[in-house]
Amino acid sequence: MSVFHGFSSLSTAADGDDIDANAASLLKALGKVTDRRKSRGKIYDLVFILAISLVAVLAGASNFREVGDQVADFSQSLLCKLGAKWCFFRLGFRFPSERTIRRVLENIDAAEFDLIVGSWLRERASRGSDGMLALAIDGKVLRGSWNGENNQFTLFSAMIHDVGVTVAQVQVPPGTNEITQVEALLAGVPADAGERVVVTMDAAHTQRDTAEHIAGERGFDYVMTIKGNQPKLFDSVFRKCLPLIKDDPHHFVEERGHGRINRWSTWITDADGIDFPHARQVGCIRREVLTLAGVRISKEYAWPITSSVTDDTTASDLHVHVRNHWGIENKSHYIRDTAWNEDAHQAYIGSGPQGMATLRNLAIGLLRLNGVTEIKRTIQWIGWDRTRALPLLVT
């Protein structure tokens, strides 16, 4: 009997004979990462080091030392399944030390690693019912990590709405910010023929250059939020939407939970007269929080703007896009911090911080694609028996 409900199917698959064959897709993808090491003195293949590091992260390892400790405790059968080489002197399968794993990840081509992992996850992630790919983009500061210029290490990533799978990630260069990296990030998200892509972002990215690149150059749709950083645009959108909110909303949602009532009212109209690249519609979303007795606690407004036409984005769609955007905080950034203590991981050298973040993204992606929602509980469950991670590799 499985001790973990909702994930029990993996416990029975862990001993299957077809693990090696079915994991070939992921291992083949990891094998595309360039090995920068010199051939002389190289004992372990890069794909093997990445595979065992991934299993260690799936088992809860949050830093290089914990990855090394996990790998040192792997069973011989698990090492064999992950591609370890037999050592006739030790009469067992060999595994690298924590120092070797650390040096490999610090020297890896992190940008290439992210691109390969993101592409692999994107091919397997589900789309919306209409085949639309909705992406949330946002940056995250790794508070325990610093680059060579003593600046905090910042990563900028794109995550698919709903499924919570990160499909692109880039490092924000020192001396700049994530606003300048939208083009670099979305370069790792090629659009399939006929596929509609919608990119959502917070108010910091409400920039003319960003809108022009997303809608004009890439042919995607954007959903941006307007705040005080664009005062003229904010004023024009406010004046455009003000007459609307005097009438009933075009879309209304009420939810009860956690001892309160949340209400979202959404209005949407055309963007005629709005001076912003490729703007087609603007809207207003009012969120009200009330007690269960109906007493209002708070009220706030959001002012979105989108390049999407009326047939593609209704008031209901606009509401969903804006709400789902913040899933990148809850389903990615928050999980990396709470399940793997990412902000506490002190890594300063080379590609180490980004390499570990990519492994965490891949681990989350594998879990999400298998329908897992309780990430922390699941990695604890895998930590008790690392062979439970094997079925995830055949995703």
DSSP 248-297: --SEEEEEEETTEEEEEEEEEEE-TT--STT--EEEEEEEEEE-TTS-EE
Separation between Cα atoms, residue 217 and residue 86, nearest integer Å: 52
Q: Are 216 and 277 in contact (CB under 8 A)?
A: yes
Instruction: Please tell me the CATH superfamily of domain 128-330, with its number.
Output: Transposase Inhibitor Protein From Tn5; Chain A, domain 1 (3.90.350.10)
pLDDT bracket for residue 351 (50, 70, 90) = confident
Is the pLDDT at 167 greater than 70? The verdict is yes
The pLDDT of residue 150: 59
Separation between Cα atoms, residue 385 and residue 133, nearest integer Å: 35
Angle, CA of 298, 270 and 250, to the nearest 5°: 45
pLDDT bracket for residue 176 (50, 70, 90) = confident
The pLDDT of residue 5: 46
pLDDT bracket for residue 193 (50, 70, 90) = low
The pLDDT of residue 288: 94
Separation between Cα atoms, residue 323 and residue 316, nearest integer Å: 11
Is the pLDDT at 21 greater than 60? The verdict is no
The pLDDT of residue 112: 96
The pLDDT of residue 336: 94
Residue 156: strand pairing partners: 139, 170
- Output the CA torsion 247→253→254→260 (10° steps): -100
Separation between Cα atoms, residue 388 and residue 368, nearest integer Å: 15
Q: Are 287 and 264 in contact (CB under 8 A)?
A: yes
> Looking at residue 213, what DSSP letter applies?
I
Which of 197-201, 254-258, 305-309 shows the lowest per-residue confidence on average (mean pLDDT)?
A: 254-258
The pLDDT of residue 16: 46
Cα–Cα distance list, 355 to 64, 158, 185, 257 (Å): 11, 16, 16, 38
For the segment 252-256, the average pLDDT, to the nearest whole number, is 94
For the segment 87-92, the average pLDDT, to the nearest whole number, is 85
User: How, if at all, do strands 221-225 and 197-200 pair?
Assistant: parallel
**pLDDT mean across residues, the chain:** 89
The pLDDT of residue 148: 61
Name residues whose C-beta falls within 8 Å of residue 55's C-beta, 6 or more positions apart in sequence.
70, 74, 78, 82, 386, 389, 390, 393
The angle, 0 to 180 degrees and rounded to 10, between the axes of the packed helices 110-124 and 352-369 is 10
Which of 127-131, 235-239, 352-356 shows the lowest per-residue confidence on average (mean pLDDT)?
A: 127-131
Is the pLDDT at 329 greater than 70? The verdict is yes
Per-residue pLDDT reduced to its tens digit, 31-87: 999 999 888 878 999 999 999 999 999 999 999 999 999 999 999 999 999 999 998
Place of tokens 């610090």: 106
Is the pLDDT at 205 greater than 80? The verdict is yes
Is the pLDDT at 2 greater than 50? The verdict is no
Q: What residue ranges do the domains of the chain occupy?
A: 8-111+350-394, 128-330
Is the pLDDT at 328 greater than 60? The verdict is yes
DSSP annotation string for 333-377: IHHHHHHH-GGG----STTHHHHHHHHHHHHHHHHHHTT---HHH
Which of 130-134, 137-141, 158-162 shows the lowest per-residue confidence on average (mean pLDDT)?
A: 130-134
Question: Structure pTM?
Answer: 0.90
Separation between Cα atoms, residue 72 and residue 375, nearest integer Å: 24
Residue 285: strand pairing partners: 266, 302
